[in-house]
A = this chain, B = another copy of it.
Amino acid sequence: MNIGAASEKSGLPAKTIRYYEDIGLLTADRASNGYRDYSIADVHRMRFIQRSRRLGFSVEECRQLLSLYNDRERESADVKTLAKTKLAEIDRKLVELTELRDTLRHLVRSCQGDSRPDCPIIEGLSSSQRK
């Protein structure tokens, strides 16, 4: 299967697939015409990476995850540890983002949106220094 088909099946843009090959995250067979040739297993790996990235794993973490995925003999404890660390990180991000939204929402609510120059959004951004 050519890169276009693999792209469609995996959800990764062709450019990204080539990039992942470049950084050694993926490998590719070559057809006689020089085109990359992918198997179903390759597409699975791509989807694995795509999903991991979407879940917030860095490319480096994907590399670890992928080595775990490629070698099923490895202990799942490793994977769990990685996933748990990532989960805590996401929770932190979630809290921060919520705070941020609340602040911004408050600012939007208290702004008239008319032509008066004393806009509370501007005030809030320049002075408030929570935490």
Chain A residues in contact with chain B, CB under 8 A?
Answer: 44-45, 47-48, 51-52, 54-56, 65, 68-69, 72-77, 79-81, 83-84, 86-87, 90-91, 93-94, 97-98, 100-101, 103-105, 107-108, 111-119, 121-122, 125-129
Contacts and interface: CB of A to CB of B under 8 A. Distances in A.
Contacts of A104: 55-56, 83, 86-87, 90
A2 to B, nearest CB: 21
Contacts of A118: 72, 76
Contacts of A91: 101
A3 B26 CA distance: 45
Given A97-B90, A100-B56, A125-B55, A117 B74 contact: yes
